[in-house]
Structure 1
């Protein structure tokens, strides 16, 4: 049995006659280094394919007046990411003033999945009370080599559902992971000086 794993860009999906779809992948030379012979053996063979995006797309709610995110984060000395309440919200809470309605809009952002996964693997990513499982642990197990099918069977859900839930978890922790990565890089620079 041949097995080849590599990172690629999905360049095209072509619709062909009789319901056939042709998928075109683009791979750098070093991405297939030492794997081209095995891949060539698979030409005209049936194969199992699993594609997972290397990018996490998520939405950020932006304050229309200030053009800044409604939710901001800071990282403490231990690397724990905390939500920072805007000053006006804190004042409203302290004085018992009704919360001001702010005009907002959604902005789509992207995070490198590798950074999000490193954040999760670091043990710094949170669990959310409204999610039914410990997704930080599930993502760790997936990154350590367990299949979605095995994890889904263990939880009694479909493999499609676990992929959907893991994707949702990554989207929720992505802004925290970005802030954590900035903190980590800054700390490394300070340590190297």
Structure 2
């Protein structure tokens, strides 16, 4: 069975005669490098397609004066994300009740794969008003199961699954951003350690 995965840009959705709907996808750069022949073999064959936006948009509440988030996060050595109060917020609390601090909504975006990795890590929080097991759902999804099949296993509609998952991603996005930064810093520390160990080994060589 032929399989191909790529990240296109949705360009057009056209309604053609006889109820046929045409979807035009555009792939830029080398997004289809080494995959053209496989894709060509799929022409005029029935395929399963699942499209998801690459980035998740979400809102954060910021201090209108400083543009700093009203809620900030830090990550401990185990990768657990904790909520902390910004220094600016602490200072304002001394002379102004929190409810009187001017705030506004600020739109942010984050790669969906970062959020999904955070959910799959098992470190994402749960919410009382959301009773789906998103850790389990993400595990099934990353194992290759389609959302339609996941919904069937959970005995819910795929529409409800996607609606709840989209909401959950938005809620945990601010934490996932900090977690993603922590993961990248851990990789850098590991690479630096390996590099230093390699230099030490070279320095102990016998001529």
Give me the TM-score of the superposition, normalised by structure 2: 0.77
1: distance between equivalents of 2:4 and 2:59? 30
Q: How does 1:41-190 map to 2 (within 5 A)?
A: 41-86=41-86, 99-190=98-189
Please tell me whether the aligned partners of residues 13 and 21 of structure 1 are also in contact (alpha carbons under 8 angstroms): no
SS at match of 1:131: coil
Q: 1:103 to 1:32 in 2, by over 3 A?
A: same
Q: Answer with 156-165 or 80-89: which moved more.
A: 80-89
1: distance between equivalents of 2:5 and 2:153? 28
SS at match of 1:170: helix
- For structure 2, the residue ranges without an aligned partner over 5 or more in a row are 194-207
Deviation at 1:48, TM superposition (A): 2.9
Q: 1:17 to 1:23 in 2, by over 3 A?
A: closer
Please tell me whether the aligned partners of residues 9 and 27 of structure 2 are also in contact (alpha carbons under 8 angstroms): no
Deviations 1:26-47 (A, max 9, x none): 2256543443333223323443
2: distance between equivalents of 1:147 and 1:188? 30
Q: How many aligned residue pairs are there?
A: 190
Please tell me whether the aligned partners of residues 119 and 134 of structure 2 are also in contact (alpha carbons under 8 angstroms): no
Please tell me whether the aligned partners of residues 11 and 24 of structure 2 are also in contact (alpha carbons under 8 angstroms): yes
2: distance between equivalents of 1:89 and 1:108? 20
Q: Where do 4+ consecutive residues of structure 1 move more than 6 Å?
A: 88-93
Please tell me whether the aligned partners of residues 63 and 101 of structure 2 are also in contact (alpha carbons under 8 angstroms): yes
Deviation at 1:90, TM superposition (A): 6.8
- For structure 1, the residue ranges without an aligned partner over 5 or more in a row are none
Deviation at 1:175, TM superposition (A): 1.3
1: distance between equivalents of 2:15 and 2:147? 30
Please tell me whether the aligned partners of residues 10 and 23 of structure 1 are also in contact (alpha carbons under 8 angstroms): no
Deviation at 1:88, TM superposition (A): 7.9
Please tell me whether the aligned partners of residues 57 and 107 of structure 2 are also in contact (alpha carbons under 8 angstroms): yes
Deviations 1:130-171 (A, max 9, x none): 211111221121111222122212222101211221122222
2: distance between equivalents of 1:146 and 1:175? 26
